[in-house]
Amino acid sequence: MTAPVDFEHAIKNHLAIIVGYADLLLDECGADDQRRPDILEMRKAANAALALVDTWVGSAR
């Protein structure tokens, strides 16, 4: 019972760190910084993974 909750917690934490750093980098680089689209891609993927976790946890309950 607790194993999926622990897993959900752990994976979401890791994904939150990725999103967090992406946000920090976006804050720090200017609007016309060439790396901006790449960072946005990383952030988008991490957010998509988070949504997947939520869907998976929802269906598992």
Give the nearer residue to another protein in terms of CB position, either 4 or 33. Answer: 4
Of 26, 23, 17, 25, the closest CA to residue 49 belongs to 17
CB of 15 to another protein, least distance (A): 7
Q: Which residues of this protein are in contact with another protein, per CB under 8 A?
A: 5, 8-9, 12-17, 19-21, 23-24, 27, 46-47, 50
CB of 20 to another protein, least distance (A): 4
Percentages of the chain per state (helix, strand, coil), in multiples of 5 = 85, 0, 15
